[in-house]
Structure 1
Amino acid sequence: MEINILNCRYSNRSSNNEYDFLLFLKDASSFSFLLDQNHWLDTFGDVNYTFPSSPSIPPQLSLLFKNVDLRLDFNEFSQEIKTRYPQVKNVIRFKNKFNNDIKLVKLELSSSTLREELLIKRKITVGYIVYDIDEYLAPANILICSKCMGLGHFMKQCTQVKSTCRTCDECADDLKLHICSKIEKCIHCGQSHKSNSLRCQVVKSFRSELTRKLLSSNNRSSSSTMNTLNNMSNSNFKYLSSDFPPMPMPQFLPTNPNNTMLIKLDDLLGKITEVNNHLSNLELNLLIERHENLFMKLIVPMFEDLFGLIASQNQDKKGNILDPDLKLKLERYLIQMKKIKEGKYSIN
């Protein structure tokens, strides 16, 4: 494994004669390799060392889940992902500015290889639900020089001799001795705001251009990785028809679930008719009237509502009928219910 180190910094010597070293790495693969403490030596030059804290996962090792339902058990969701992919360090649900959960979830990984594999698939199944996966890009931070108010460099890299006041746009040899007019004027656009304000249109344009470059760079990296993997997978591929036999014919045709429903409704309607005939043949008028009132005021409206509910479920989102035969059956049932009511009233 080749480790690419960009820079190394260390702090001043502490009271107990110790230093703190900070490593800057060039790529995500180097970071993911050194993130595992098992890859480190026990000592450096017979000198012991410790890890005071674990570094945060950079955006180059993160992914974005989209449309994650707010009603699911997020702990179970996270645990299932970590069980399937042990390289997943953290599963974080984003919040909006009101601190409410939203449907975006970030995955922080410890493996750059797994990240590339998931980006190629672009989808992942968790709990029998397929989610879209995309790259996670952190908001681009803009460097604003505190000496000249220029964009894209630090004060140590600044070549300007004098310092620029961030409020009034005037230059001075020493800002501590500078008498500011307190009238805000931006050095970039000339508008009435401070020169380091993120509301400045020039600063916003600079941020947009920087984000666009980051996006194009990441897209080129992902496409090159995908092409490499595709070439590797296709280089030794040879098509054989024997490896792809035809699918067997189905042994039986699937039954229509609506047929079972229609049979049950027919049976139910027949029993309702039997009950009605039985009530009409009772000799006790008081008992007949009591049962008929119960039947007409409770049971019949209940089944009318039931048939109406089934009819509403027999439509798609655009209102089109899914099963015309079921629609005709339900209309016939409703007509029979209406006739039962009319028959009841004609008896009285």
Structure 2
Amino acid sequence: MEINILNCRLSNRISNNEYDFLLFLKDASSFSFLLDQNHWPDTFGDVNYTFPSSPSIPPQLSLLVKNVDLRLDFNEFSQEIKTRYPQVKNVIRLKNKFNNDIKLVKLELSSSTLREELLTKRKITVGYIVYDIDEYLAPAYILICSKCMGLGHFMKQCTQVKSTCRTCGECADDLKLHICSKIEKCVHCGQNHKSNSLRCHVVKSFKSELTRKLLSSNNRSSSSSTNTLNNMNNSNFKYLSSDFPPMPMPQFLPTNPNNTMLTKLDDLLGKITEVNNHLSNLELKYNRFEQFMTEKKENDLLVKENLNLLSEQSVEFQKDLVHHSLLIERHENLFMKLIIPMFEDLFGLIASQNQDKKGNILDPDLKLKLERYLIQMKKIKEGKYSIN
């Protein structure tokens, strides 16, 4: 196995005369080989060493599984993948910018060979479901020197003597003593933004070129791994039964191999039945509501007809009332202008007959009655006139 080392350096952590030694590798196959601690020697120059922690898996050893349902049991999903592919170290559900789960799952592998095999198939089967697989492309991170604002190196690797102000772009021996003009000017493009701004078109171009190089390096590694697999497949081999021992018997043999699938189908049918019942109830309620609305419309029409009839009857009543008012007024006029004057004349005649030749009253009671009748008729006339 050829190991391609890009660079190596000591880390900043130094304690008890112990150093952390960092290795930077060129390709994913070298990384996956050294990721297995069994490939390392016991000592380096009679000096013991330890692995303080397991390194993070780079994007070149990662894959994306697409369209993974959010409702499935993710622990069961992860366990099945790790059981089928022991080289899968981590199964991670990705999230969006709102920290919500999405349908993409990241697989971190320790074997570049397995990664190329899965990429060649472009498919993976988990729980009787076939999922699409694609490369995982992580965004490239750009190193911006905090001393000279240059791209692609750290401050410790910087060869510039003076420090550059990230705001105004001027150089100074000591930035703490530097008086900045606060006028932003990029040292890369000369535009009005800070020199370490990621929106600078020079920084964006550098990032694009870096991403292109990383992808091309990954593609070369993939092609070399594919060629290795093809050579292994084309090589002649001799079949020996001893090389393929029989598999051990399972600890538990289910009576029905399709029991899990049948259970899921039964659950699905049960849920479909529940949905149908809900739909039937909704249809029944809708029919009742529709019948209620129809009856309401009929009742509204009946009420409208009754209101129209009452309106017509009210008009007739008004006419009858006017007619009766005219009759009453006519009768009152007849009574006041004819009957009462006639009674007054009659009472006057009777009063004159109730006297003798000398003018003496013959019947005082009759006189009193006549006077009372005249007073009452006078009051009636006064009451009539006061009403008018």
TM-score, normalised with respect to structure 2: 0.55
1:18–1:71 Cα change, 3 Å: same
Contact preservation (8 Å) 2:28, 2:218: no
Contact preservation (8 Å) 2:64, 2:135: yes
Contact preservation (8 Å) 1:148, 1:158: yes
Output the CA distance in 2 between the equivalents of 1:72 and 1:116.
27
1:159–1:227 Cα change, 3 Å: same
- Kindly provide the CA deviation profile for residues 48-91 of structure 1, in whole angstroms up to 9, marking residues without a partner as x: 33222111111121111122111111111111100000011000
Q: Which of 350, 355, 362 is the aligned partner of 1:310?
A: 350
Q: Which sits farther off after the overlay, 27-36 or 123-132? A: 27-36
How far residue 36 of structure 1 moved from its aligned partner, in angstroms, is 2.0
**Unaligned stretches of 5+ residues in structure 1:** none
Contact preservation (8 Å) 2:60, 2:218: no
Contact preservation (8 Å) 2:27, 2:217: no
How far residue 209 of structure 1 moved from its aligned partner, in angstroms, is 2.7
Output the CA distance in 2 between the equivalents of 1:108 and 1:322.
145
> Where does 1:141-180 land on structure 2 (aligned, <5 Å)?
141-180=141-180
Contact preservation (8 Å) 1:68, 1:103: yes
Output the CA distance in 1 between the equivalents of 2:149 and 2:199.
14
Contact preservation (8 Å) 2:113, 2:225: no
How far residue 263 of structure 1 moved from its aligned partner, in angstroms, is 27
Q: Which sits farther off after the overlay, 273-282 or 16-25? A: 273-282
Output the CA distance in 1 between the equivalents of 2:72 and 2:378.
45
Q: Does the residue aligned with 1:305 lie in a helix, a strand or coil?
A: helix
1:61–1:199 Cα change, 3 Å: same
Output the CA distance in 2 between the equivalents of 1:306 and 1:111.
142
Output the CA distance in 2 between the equivalents of 1:218 and 1:150.
26
1:333–1:252 Cα change, 3 Å: farther
Partner of 1:33: 33
1:200–1:125 Cα change, 3 Å: same
- Kindly provide the CA deviation profile for residues 95-136 of structure 1, in whole angstroms up to 9, marking residues without a partner as x: 111110111111111111111111111111111222221222
Contact preservation (8 Å) 2:28, 2:221: no
- Kindly provide the CA deviation profile for residues 203-232 of structure 1, in whole angstroms up to 9, marking residues without a partner as x: 223222322332233334434544554566
Q: Does the residue aligned with 1:277 lie in a helix, a strand or coil?
A: helix
Q: Which sits farther off after the overlay, 236-245 or 207-216? A: 236-245
Contact preservation (8 Å) 1:7, 1:23: yes
How far residue 304 of structure 1 moved from its aligned partner, in angstroms, is 92
Q: Which sits farther off after the overlay, 155-164 or 186-195? A: 155-164
1:150–1:84 Cα change, 3 Å: same
Q: Which structure features the higher share of helix residues?
A: 2
1:198–1:248 Cα change, 3 Å: closer
Contact preservation (8 Å) 1:280, 1:288: no
1:65–1:172 Cα change, 3 Å: same
**Unaligned stretches of 5+ residues in structure 2:** 284-324
1:268–1:101 Cα change, 3 Å: closer
1:66–1:269 Cα change, 3 Å: closer
Contact preservation (8 Å) 1:262, 1:326: no
How far residue 180 of structure 1 moved from its aligned partner, in angstroms, is 0.2
Contact preservation (8 Å) 1:87, 1:109: yes
Aligned length: 347
TM-score, normalised with respect to structure 1: 0.61
Output the CA distance in 2 between the equivalents of 1:21 and 1:161.
28
Structure with greater Cα Rg:
2
